[in-house]
Structure formats: C-alpha cells, structure tokens
C-alpha cells in the first residue's frame, strides 16, 4: 500500500509539472520535474525507494531512447554521421578526462579514478533534454539533428568510461585494451539489438 501511495505521489508531481509549465512555458518540463523531485526529497517524509540500476535502464532509459530515436530523421542522422560520431566518441572521452582532472584538482581528497567516474556520469548529453530545450529555443535544424544523434549514440562511450573508472577505483587497475574491447562489444550489441528490434516492429506493422 505504501509503494502504491508513492507511485500516486510521483504521478501527481508529473501532473503538477505540466500544470506549472502552462504558466512558465519557457522552462522545459524536465527541469520543472527535477526541481519538484528535489523539493520532495528535501521534505522529511521518510520516503525511500530502492531501484536496481538494470531495472531503471529497462523501465525508463530504453523507452525514452526508443521514443526519441523513432522521431529522429534517419536521413539527417546518416548525413551528419561524422560530427555525430566525433561528438559521441571523442567529446565524451575528452569531457571525462578534462572534468575528471578538474574535479580531482578542486577536491584532491577524491581519487582521480573516482573523479573520472563522476565525470563519466555527467559527460553524455540527454536526448530527452535536448528535445525539450530545442522545442523552446530557436536552434538551427542542423545543430538540433547533431545533438539528437549524439544523444542517441553517446551512451556506449559514457557507460564504458564509467564502468572502467569504477573498476579502477575499486581494484586500482585499468586496462586500455579491455576498455576498448568492452566499448566495441557494447556499441555493436546495442546496434544489432536495435536493428533486430526495429526489423521486428516494422514486420509487425
């Protein structure tokens, strides 16, 4: 019963965020929901929800990426493949390095590997947030397509960076070769799985 009430409370917050958005249309709905979530967490209601990361990926991340991927222009995605891959790969890893060293420099008590793990969490852009912001702000179509494509493809590089930064923090060992192989496996696995799922959906339709 308590879990059911928590779900109703969260659904009420989602409805409240849409209501607030009518009065402040220049603020993206995800930002309003984040602010309401932080406000709810600050209230001492004793609410504590345990959620497995794998379950979170399946219930939230996968459907959101599928929805946004369905709306992305495949023609523009292929046309802008070079800048998209440069951002999804090069920019993510560069951000992890720069922000990781910056965090370690600002807070020396945080180990460098842990700083890299924190930077890996922050490095991939969110395609949902990009869509919400671009709907409110006039952004050139080319830039929007690049950001959407990069947001769909940067999860592999971000996950690999986070995985090996955490492993280096725990074990004190980092293997560039193992990280490279893991990245290829995650990227190809996601591509093949998505292609198979897309084929099945197209055949069913």
Q: Report d(CA 145, CA 180) in Å as an integer.
A: 27
User: Range with the lowest mean pLDDT among 54-68, 74-88, 143-157?
Assistant: 54-68
Query: Could you say which DSSP state residue 173 is in?
Result: -
Q: Which helix (H) or strand (E) holds 44?
A: none
Torsion of CA 180, 190, 125, 91, to 10 degrees: 30
Give the mean model confidence (pLDDT) for residues 171-189.
Answer: 78
CB atoms within 10 A of CB 50: 5
pLDDT, residue 105, reads 93
Give the mean model confidence (pLDDT) for residues 85-108.
Answer: 88
Q: Report whether 153 contacts 130 (CB < 8 A).
A: no
Q: How far is CA 103 from the centre of its chain?
A: 20
Taking CA atoms, 198 is separated from 25, 36, 48, 125, 170, in Å, by 34, 35, 37, 23, 38
Residue with tokens 């222009």: 73
The CA-CA-CA angle for residues 79, 124, 64, to 5°, reads 80
* pLDDT tens digits, one per residue of 44-76: 777 777 777 777 777 777 777 777 777 777 788
CB atoms within 10 A of CB 146: 20
Give the mean model confidence (pLDDT) for residues 177-187.
Answer: 78
**pTM above threshold 0.85:** no
pLDDT of 9 > 80? The answer is yes
- Residue of 155, 135, 134 whose CA lies nearest to 143: 134
């Amino acid at each position: 019963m308590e879990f059911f009430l928590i779900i109703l409370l969260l659904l009420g917050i989602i409805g409240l965020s849409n209501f607030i958005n009518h009065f402040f249309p220049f603020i993206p709905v995800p930002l309003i929901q984040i602010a309401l979530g932080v406000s709810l967490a600050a209230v001492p209601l004793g609410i504590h929800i345990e959620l497995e990361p794998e379950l979170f990926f399946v219930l939230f991340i996968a459907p959101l990426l599928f929805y946004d991927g369905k709306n992305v222009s495949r023609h523009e995605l292929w046309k802008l493949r070079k800048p998209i891959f440069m951002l999804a790969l090069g920019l993510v890893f560069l951000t992890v390095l720069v922000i990781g060293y910056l965090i370690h420099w600002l807070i020396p008590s945080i180990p460098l590997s842990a700083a890299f793990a924190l930077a890996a969490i922050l490095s991939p852009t969110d395609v949902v947030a990009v869509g919400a912001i671009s709907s409110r702000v006039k952004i050139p179509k080319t830039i929007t397509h690049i950001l959407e494509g990069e947001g769909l493809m940067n999860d592999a590089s971000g996950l690999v960076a986070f995985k090996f930064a955490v492993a280096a923090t725990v074990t004190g060992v980092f293997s560039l070769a193992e990280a490279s192989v893991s990245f290829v496996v995650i990227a190809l696995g996601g591509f093949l799985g998505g292609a198979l799922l897309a084929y099945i959906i197209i055949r069913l339709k």
